[in-house]
Chain A
Amino acid sequence: MNVDDANDQARFAEVFLPHLVDAFRLARWLAGSRADAEDIVQEASMRAFKSIRGFSGGHPRAWVLTIVRNTSYSWLAKNRPAALVLTEDLDSRARERLEQTAASEDPQTPEAALIAKTEAAEVRKAMASLPALFREVLVLREIHELDYRAIAEIAQVPIGTVMSRLARARRLLIAAMQGGAA
């Protein structure tokens, strides 16, 4: 191994490895399973390594998450094409559920109390029912605690799109949780 390679590996260890858990969590919610997420993180790490010299030293976490995000979508396209719905249109089932919950909204049952009572397994199920683009903004916002600007950078969309996706994702998730609890 030459000196350049050694430097690259050292830089990779410094930039990528501290964000391994974050990388895993994003991949896990985009891919749907832990095993797939670990495959994706491995592949993302290869990509990150190859382009480590191009990393300018900005925000390593955002850089890592961008690579993981892109790797997740290409991995899904290749290995789980059926799971990859890269559209913001809801399928008919989700739309129906949304309309039903809107119609049956009970003013006596505050949504917040209902959500607080929802079991972890139901939360996961509701999350899994969302299209990937909505899961993505939710995970980046709520799990990674990133602000709109950072999410826009990682998802490669304007901030306005982040805002509308996030608003919609939350509305959908609340509806799915109410559907599950009812």
Chain B
Amino acid sequence: MNVSEQDELLLNAYVDGELDPMEAVRFEQRLGAEPALSAQVEARRALRNALRSDLGEDVPSPDLRRRVMAKLSRRGPGEWLSWRMAASFLIGAVLAGTMSVGLLNDRPGENVAHAVVSAHIRALMAPQPTDVVSSDHHTVKPWFNGKLAFAPTVADLSAQGLPLVGARIDVVGLEPVASLVYSHGKHFISLTEMPNARGTPASVENYFEHGYLAITWSDGGIAYWAVSDAAAGELESFVKLFQTAAAGS
């Protein structure tokens, strides 16, 4: 490298935006006149691009956050409380106080919540979020025949401004389950239905996963999961409309 030590510090500081404006102007004038110097500046910019594109993508494994919190919790009793505190803070950041939610902790439904939210996200990444495209519930309902061991409820909510987009099969816990897709403005709502192993009606519960809200309830035989990134109030009214329509069908 054929620049002085002083110039090397100067050009690094220049590349890093650490020179004051007057110094920077003087240095830029020199760059125009000294190709050796400008080649060094270019090399450092290329180095930055290489490092950012090649090293900047490293992310920890997805469960590191959970393991970190679990380790803290093992310090003493009250594990659920610590989880709840942590989770509520994280969610607080996501929701920015737009809604009131029950605090989270390790609940039995969490794995299912994770699976249905993942399926919803995956579906949105695909060219289309459904396996069968139809706004007609008379087309969608028979489409599930032979694909599932139960008959899912397909509610027609088009009159309420929630047209059916179609349906797909998701897999939760290695079992195929039915997912209906409704559109709500620019948002999609996935309504996933699966046999409810416990068979007892459960109260409505909310889960949050990565900025998505999942609302679950069951009518005894079937557990329902509504997932969307729509506002919580909107998803809640969808759930009420669906429940009403299902009860009347």
A9 with B43: CB separation less than 8 A: no
The answer to the question of B51 belonging to the interface, with a C-beta cut-off of 8 Å to chain A, is yes
Chain B residue contacts of A171, Cβ below 8 A = 1, 8
B-contacting residues of A (Cβ < 8 Å)?
1, 5-6, 9-10, 12-14, 16-18, 20-21, 24-25, 28-29, 34, 37-38, 41-42, 45-46, 49, 102, 105, 110-113, 115-116, 118, 120, 123-124, 127, 138-139, 141-143, 147-148, 163-164, 166-167, 170-171, 173-174, 177
From known contacts A9-B86, A116-B50, infer whether A123 and B18 are also in contact, taking CB-CB under 8 Å. no
Say which residue of B8, B42, B48, B72 sits within 8 Å of A49 (CB atoms): B72
A150 to B81, CA, bound (A): 35
- Identify whether the interface residues of A are mostly helix, strand, loop, or mixed: helix
22 sample A-B contacts, Cβ–Cβ < 8 Å, listed by A number: A1-B78, A5-B82, A9-B85, A9-B86, A17-B65, A20-B60, A20-B64, A25-B58, A38-B67, A41-B60, A41-B64, A42-B64, A110-B43, A111-B40, A115-B47, A139-B55, A143-B55, A147-B17, A147-B18, A163-B13, A173-B47, A174-B44
Task: Compute how far the CA of A9 lies from the CA of B48 in the bound complex, rounded to whole angstroms.
Answer: 37
- B86 pairs with A17, CB closer than 8 A: yes
Is the CB of B89 closer than 8 A to any CB of chain A? yes
**Given the contacts A1-B78, A38-B60, A13 and B89 also touching, CB distance less than 8 Å:** yes
A20 & B65 in contact (Cβ 8 Å cutoff)? yes
Query: Min CB distance, B85 to chain A, in Å?
Result: 4
* Contact yes or no, A6 B85, CB < 8 A: yes
Partner of A112, one of B42, B60, B86, B88: B42
Which residues of A sit under 8 angstroms from B97, Cβ to Cβ?
A: none
What is the bound-complex CA distance between A7 and B182, given in angstroms?
A: 41
CB pair B39 A1 closer than 8 Å:
no
Since A123-B50, A163-B13 are in contact, a sample of 20 more A-B pairs with Cβ atoms closer than 8 Å, ordered by chain A residue number, is A1-B81, A5-B78, A6-B78, A12-B86, A17-B69, A24-B58, A24-B64, A38-B60, A46-B72, A112-B39, A115-B43, A116-B50, A123-B51, A123-B55, A143-B51, A143-B52, A143-B55, A143-B56, A163-B12, A170-B44
Chain B contacts for A110, CB-based, 8 A: 39, 42-43
Q: Tell whether, in the assembled complex, residue B47 and residue A170 are in contact, meaning their CB atoms are under 8 Å apart.
A: yes
Q: Is the interface of B mostly helix, strand, loop or mixed?
A: helix
Number of chain B residues close to chain A: CB under 8 A? 49
Assembled-state Cα–Cα distance A115/B52 (Å): 13
A105 / chain B contacts, CB cutoff of 8 Å = 1-2
A5 to B64, CA, bound (A): 22
Determine whether the beta carbon of A38 is less than 8 Å from that of B86.
no
Residue A21 contacts which of B39, B59, B85 (CB distance < 8 angstroms)? B59
What residue of chain A has the Cβ atom nearest to residue B36's Cβ?
A107
- Whether B9 is near chain A, meaning CB under 8 Å from some CB there, is yes
Closest residue of A by beta carbon distance from B87: A13
User: Which residues from A are CB-within-8-Å of B13?
Assistant: 148, 163
Return A138 CB to nearest CB of chain B, in Å: 7
Bound-state Cα–Cα, A164 to B10, Å: 10
CA distance A118 to B93 in the complex (A): 40
Contact status B51-A142, CB under 8 Å: yes
